[in-house]
Structure 1
Amino acid sequence: MLGILQVTSKSIKPVLVLWASMYLFVLILVGMNIGGNANIIYLITQFIFIPLSGILFLHLFNDLFGSEHSTFLHTFYKGKVEKMYGAYLMLYMLPLIVLCTLIDLRYEGFEAIPASILLLSQALLFTCITLILFVITTDLSISITISVLYLSIELATFGNVWNLIHIFYMNLQEPIVLSAVYHTLIVNFVLGLIGYRFFKMLVS
């Protein structure tokens, strides 16, 4: 068991290093007031940390669903996977809440609470979708490829593809307040909770 945990820690170390580097990068942007617009900083935050949440969660659950130890670990963690997921999600959100608070203090027209809740809804939906894809395919590359394809389309079209679900807030003019993001919040949470229930059903 110790060997399995050591393999897991090694597999996620590069992702954690990348995450920390990107966090420092965004902190520098906020500190130097680069762009002079909270919406630009928030857009960068979304397109960095939401995809990284999916990649990190895939690596965290890789040994449970996609390795030769899967049967043993599934038995060992039976009934605990959803609790692990919830704990990981809350831990992932803590530094992002701090980041939103710093952006709120630095810029006008930005509210940390709705911005943080929106990031939570995005992370919930994105991680659930990537994990469902992974559980079904047992292939990390397929899950990551589909996620990257979606992100590329969203970024390239700036969320203007009408038949896609848009989980990101990409308006660079309208202040990030609850009245501006509530529709996206509702859609993300509804779909995210449906995805979570489906993920829970697959792993139970």
Structure 2
Amino acid sequence: MINLLQLKSRSLGWLLYLPMAIFVAMLFFIFGIPNNNVNVVIVLLQLTFIPLVCIWTLYLFYDLLGTGNFQYMWLYYKTNIEKILIMFFVVLFIPLISLIIAIEFRFDEFQTLPILMLLFTQCLISAVVSLILFAVFGDVSIPITLIFLYISAELATFGSSKYLYHIFFLNLQESLNFTNTISLALLNLLFGLVGYKIFKLLIT
């Protein structure tokens, strides 16, 4: 497991340090923003970590899907895909959970469990969609472009477009809680798990 973590750390290169850079920047933002703007922090948290999840996922599996050596690399990956994803989520969630604790300390009305549930399912579905796009197109630039186009469209319409599936919670007026996130989190989880099955079918 340690050897696997070291190998994948080299695959990420400088991207490995981005979560800590985001963590430091977000800490300054959390403790500098007025008390009544917790929803702005939640939106910013989603819009920084979810693109990072997509990029991390693509480069974690770049040597499998992007180098033209699939048959050779598959011998290594076929028993390690789940291990890599679990390690990746654990490493990513350390700074993310630390930020959520800081938000809970800073804002009285903040609820920890709904945002954790939402962020986990957002990370799952965005990672899986990234892998499916990479497996289909075989070019890392295409999923990155499509993902950033999707996020740009979500921001431009603030989650109101009827033509897009909305993985984000972009409501600045209503406090995030179990009532307004449970259906979104469950849908993200369902689509993420189904998408992972599709990804496995594409590469096996």
- What's the TM-score once normalised by structure 1's chain length? 0.89
Secondary structure of the corresponding residue to residue 100 of structure 1: helix
Asked if 1:127 corresponds to 2:106, the answer is: no
Matched residue, 1:164: 164
Identical counterparts, % of pairs: 35
What pairs up with 1:1-204 in 2 under 5 angstroms?
9=9, 12-34=12-34, 36-204=36-204
Amino acid at match of 1:38: V
Are 1:125 and 1:192, in contact at CA under 8 Å, matched by a contact in 2?
Answer: yes
The Cα offsets for residues 144-200 of structure 1, whole Å up to 9 and x where unpaired, read as: 011011000000110110121000001112111111211211111111111111122
Secondary structure of the corresponding residue to residue 166 of structure 1: coil
Are 1:109 and 1:176, in contact at CA under 8 Å, matched by a contact in 2?
Answer: no
The Cα offsets for residues 106-127 of structure 1, whole Å up to 9 and x where unpaired, read as: 1022111110110000000001
Deviates more, 1:194-203 or 1:58-67: 194-203
CA distance, structure 1, for counterparts of residue 127 and residue 152 of structure 2? 17
Question: Tell me, which stretches of 5 or more residues in structure 2 are unaligned?
Answer: none
RMSD: 2.0
CA distance, structure 2, for counterparts of residue 34 and residue 141 of structure 1? 38
Are 1:132 and 1:199, in contact at CA under 8 Å, matched by a contact in 2?
Answer: yes
Deviates more, 1:53-62 or 1:85-94: 85-94
Are 1:55 and 1:144, in contact at CA under 8 Å, matched by a contact in 2?
Answer: yes
Deviation at 1:11, TM superposition (A): 5.1
CA distance, structure 2, for counterparts of residue 16 and residue 82 of structure 1? 19
CA distance, structure 1, for counterparts of residue 80 and residue 11 of structure 2? 21
CA distance, structure 2, for counterparts of residue 162 and residue 173 of structure 1? 20
Question: Tell me, which stretches of 5 or more residues in structure 1 are unaligned?
Answer: none
Are 1:53 and 1:127, in contact at CA under 8 Å, matched by a contact in 2?
Answer: yes
Are 2:131 and 2:199, in contact at CA under 8 Å, matched by a contact in 1?
Answer: yes
Amino acid at match of 2:173: Q
Change (3 A) 1:72 1:169: same
Amino acid at match of 1:179: T
- What's the TM-score once normalised by structure 2's chain length? 0.89
